[in-house]
Structure 1
Amino acid sequence: MRKVDPKRQEAQRRRILEAAVTCFVRRGFHQTKTAEICAEAGMSPGNVFHYFPNKDAIIEAIVEEDRRETADLFAKLRDADDILEEMLRALDMLLEVVADPATTRLGVEVMAEAMRNPRVGALVRRNEIEAKALLVETLGRAAARGQVDATLDLENAAVWLMALVDGAFSRAALEPSFKPEEQAPMLRTLVTRFLQPAKSPSRRKRR
């Protein structure tokens, strides 16, 4: 019996996903034909269908990949000595990602597909719910260490931090003059002022 090589399978799967992303960025989900993905990957339809039965399965795999990347990010934040500073670094890296037109286009395609396709929509909503829960937990850890304002409503704080991230993607997609990496200092200022613990007012010295 022929043995399955997990590493080779994962490499082949990754190759198909990367080819699909290239095609989706170029033509969008609905304009892209499965044959184009096969050609981009340099694989036969039978080989591609062995890993993904249809184009929807490829889109769902892209959403799942985003879920794993988000979980890895929060695992890194959880282990950081200074969680707030690590969050700021993560936002710097996020803006570098947003600066890539291909990534922004793919993000827009995923959100549009989530509105049209109930299964993709359910997966995207699951990702958002999980990401919010991880962010609330991370903020709670930081607050317990005195690194984040413990008086904040952490649920609502997480909502608005996620809205900032969504807004960066939308702005990059809609405004050609928007340069995400140039906005890193302003985003750091906004988030720092929002999250950092309030300083106790200094007492006046008695004369």
Structure 2
Amino acid sequence: MSAAAKCFAARGIHQTSMQEICDTAAISAGALYRYFESKEAIIVALADEERAGNAELIAHLAAADDIVDGLCEALPEIIAVLGNEQYGRLAVEIGAEATRNPVIADVFGRNESELRGALVEALERGQKRGTVDPALDVQATVFLIQALFDGIPGRSIFAEDVPPRQVAETLERFLRKALRGA
């Protein structure tokens, strides 16, 4: 899968052949087709990988006494992933593919929906505990948080002069103020 991700990020999904993936992975076509019948199947597997990463974040947030602190603790790792150039190119490529391919749209849409639901629950829990501004519109806030996260990969491709540490620190200040209502 990492060879496919590398190829997709470098050349695009439709421009990448299965043979290029085999060459990059240093495996035979038979070995590749034993696990993946198509490029679409590889992308679905990448979605499953993303889902597993989201599950780790969801578990971290569910265990946090303070959702704002929990989210901010996770920011350096989130930004490291989202700010990776290969990840950014791959995200843009898969996002475009999801607009044309309903299978891809469904699997990545499921991931987005699960993450959105977990963030909504976490912020509502924070409101009940008094750690999140009670006047905050949770649905709109989660939409904006996801939009920020979704935009980072694309921006990172073109803004190499902004170090990930700075992005994480600035986003932490922004989220703390926005979520606490300060």
TM-score normalised by structure 1 residue count: 0.81
Which residue number in structure 2 is paired with residue 185 of structure 1?
169
Segments of 5+ residues of structure 1 without an aligned counterpart are 1-16, 199-207
Q: Which runs of 5+ in 2 are unaligned?
A: none
In 2, distance between residues paired with 1:85 and 1:68?
A: 22
Give 1 or 2 for the bigger CA radius of gyration.
1
Runs of 4+ in 1 over 4 A off after TM superposition: none
Match of 1:101 in 2: 85
Counterpart pick for 1:47 among 27, 31, 52:
31
Q: Provide the identity percentage.
A: 38
Residue type of the alignment partner of 1:62: L
Q: Is the 8 A contact 1:98 1:180 kept in 2?
A: no
User: Does the 8 Å CA contact 2:9/2:90 hold for their aligned counterparts?
Assistant: yes
Residues 19 and 40, structure 1, Cα contact 8 Å, conserved in 2: yes
Contact 1:99 1:180 in 2 (8 A): yes
1:76-119 CA deviation, whole Å, 9 max, x = no partner? Answer: 11012332111012222222223321111111111111112221
Query: What is the match of residue 21 of structure 1?
Result: 5
Contact 1:96 1:180 in 2 (8 A): yes
2:28, 2:80 → 1: CA distance?
35
Counterpart of 1:37?
21
Q: Which amino acid aligns with 1:23?
A: C
In the aligned structure 2, how far is the partner of 1:182 from the partner of 1:74?
Answer: 24
Aligned match for 2:148, one of 164, 171, 174: 164
Cα distance in 2 for partners of 1:168, 1:149 equals: 25
Which one has more relative contact order, counting CA pairs under 8 Å at least 6 apart? 2
What's the CA shift string for 1:26-58, capped at 9, x where partnerless? Answer: 222111110111122222211211111111100
- Residues of 2 paired with 1:196 and 1:183: CA distance? 20
Q: Which amino acid aligns with 1:99?
A: G
Report the counterpart of residue 116 of structure 1 in structure 2: 100
Q: After the TM superposition, which of the residue ranges 164-173 and 45-54 deviates more from structure 2?
A: 164-173
1:173 Cα offset (Å): 2.6
Aligned length: 182
Mapped to 2, the partners of 1:128 and 1:53 lie a distance apart of 25
CA contact (8 A) 2:83 2:152 kept: no
Instruction: Give the deviation of 1:134 after TM superposition.
Output: 1.0
Distance 1:33 1:180 in 2: 33
How far has the Cα of 1:176 moved from its partner? 4.1
What is the alpha-carbon distance in structure 2 between the residues aligned to residue 36 and residue 74 of structure 1?
Answer: 35
Say whether the 8 Å CA contact 2:76–2:168 is kept in structure 1. yes
Query: Under a length normalisation based on structure 2, what TM-score does the superposition of the two structures give?
Result: 0.91
Structure 1 contact 171–178 (Cα < 8 Å) conserved: no
